[in-house]
Amino acid sequence: MAGPPARPLDQRIRDTLDRLEHDIDAWFATADPAGSSCLVPLSFLWDGHTLLISTAGTNPTARFLEATGTIRIALGHTRDVVLINAELRETIPTAEIPDEVGDAFTAKTGFDPREQRGGYPYFRLAPRQVQAWREVNELIGRDLMTDGRWLTGDATPGREAPDTRRAAVT
Amino acid sequence: MAGPPARPLDQRIRDTLDRLEHDIDAWFATADPAGSSCLVPLSFLWDGHTLLISTAGTNPTARFLEATGTIRIALGHTRDVVLINAELRETIPTAEIPDEVGDAFTAKTGFDPREQRGGYPYFRLAPRQVQAWREVNELIGRDLMTDGRWLTGDATPGREAPDTRRAAVT
């Protein structure tokens, strides 16, 4: 039995924005300049354009992010994938976060960096590239954003070979 | 309301081995020697000691893995985390995979690299460090394997500051 048909671009963008709005955690992958990788789950707040996270400034995620300026984010499950390449737009010391932003972050995540001992800065991450797919029939058309812009139905950017070849649900 | 109590070490190891045995996909993070990160979902086969994956040799995961020899793997969800630091033990060209191993990989994953056009080598990954936790009450005691050895109940290795501070389920 075939799985559901591939979602069109506008549906994938709606589903992705819904996930950004409502998901509490995601996977965040960073790399140090020497080539080792870090991957951890973190809570985040989406404001319509950027993701806000917070982690100890001494942790690998914070150090690698500051060093490279880039991060790769995976939302959802391995069969309902949203992958985001983002850049570090701003590092905000805990003491400098506006009250309403800090409160919104805590209301969403249940975690208040302002109450942590030691430095837990906030990091504002701007997506530059977004992809979304569920099963193998959605690998084509998985690009939703390139160069920081959401695509429209007319765009057909070039594709590279998929990095994952999983079985379609049958 | 408090969540469930933290699982003891032996329970976490049993849960982790069960996940390695039965989960079909996981997140695989690699870094290139220049410091950019890659993160993708891939299917895998666990043989009791190593994970077997396959991806196109031209894909970032394959290239970064060959260049650095290391990979970071996340199984499960962001609230039932298994994190593995693994090293590349062996790269096996598609034509050299033993039939029974290739067949077992395909039976588990539903994907046969031997039928792909282009090179889809297999990569054998050996865990060196394994951590597992669910909620914040399990951050202490999250180390299950260090230096390639599963811990026993007597071990109390040093902990570093957690990279994630998520809310406990209440």
Q: What percent of chain B has pLDDT over 70?
A: 89
Rounded to two decimals, the ipTM of the complex is: 0.84
Give the span between the Cα atoms of A161 and A6, in whole angstroms: 18
Q: Hey, how many other C-beta atoms are within 10 angstroms of the C-beta on A50? A: 18
Half-sphere exposure of B112 (CA within 13 A, CB side): 9
pLDDT at B157 over 50: no
The closest of B9, B14, B20 to B126, measured between CA atoms, is B20
Span A126-151, average pLDDT = 95
Inspect the interface and report whether the beta carbons of B60 and A166 lie closer than 8 Å. Answer: no
Domains and CATH numbers, chain B: 9-159 (2.30.110.10)
Alpha-carbon radius of gyration of chain B = 17
Phi–psi pair at B93, nearest 5 degrees: -60, 145
Confidence band of B154 (pLDDT split at 50, 70, 90): low
For chain B positions 121-160, those within 8 Å of chain A (CB to CB) are: none
Report the predicted TM-score, pTM, of the whole model to 2 decimal places: 0.87
Per DSSP, helices labelled H in chain A are 9-22, 60-68, 99-109
Q: Which residue has the higher pLDDT, B166 or B152?
A: B152
Span A122-128, average pLDDT = 98
Span A132-159, average pLDDT = 83
Inspect the interface and report whether the beta carbons of B39 and A40 lie closer than 8 Å. Answer: no
How high is the pLDDT of residue B136?
Answer: 85
Give the span between the Cα atoms of B41 and B34, in whole angstroms: 22
Q: Hey, how many other C-beta atoms are within 10 angstroms of the C-beta on A11? A: 11
Sign, Cα dihedral of B57, B60, B61, B65: positive
The C-alpha torsion from B103 through A74 and A64 to B140, rounded to 10°, is -80
Question: What one-character-per-residue DSSP string does B131-149 give?
Answer: EEESSGGGSTT-EEEETTE
Confidence band of A143 (pLDDT split at 50, 70, 90): very high
With H, G, I as helix, E, B as strand and everything else as coil, classify residue A96: helix
pLDDT digits (tens, 9 = 90+) for B65-76: 999 999 999 998
pLDDT digits (tens, 9 = 90+) for B96-125: 999 999 999 999 999 999 999 889 999 999
Give the span between the Cα atoms of A141 and A156, in whole angstroms: 8
Give the span between the Cα atoms of B5 and B141, in whole angstroms: 12
Of A32, A40, A79, the CB nearest to B163: A40
How high is the pLDDT of residue B10?
Answer: 95
- For an interface test with A, give the residue of B77, B120, B165, B169 to mutate (most A CBs within 10 A): B165
Spell out which residues of chain B touch residue A108, defining contact as CB-CB under 8 Å: none
How high is the pLDDT of residue A154?
Answer: 54
Span A1-19, average pLDDT = 91
Of B26, B29, B110, the CB nearest to A78: B26
Mean of pLDDT over chain B: 89
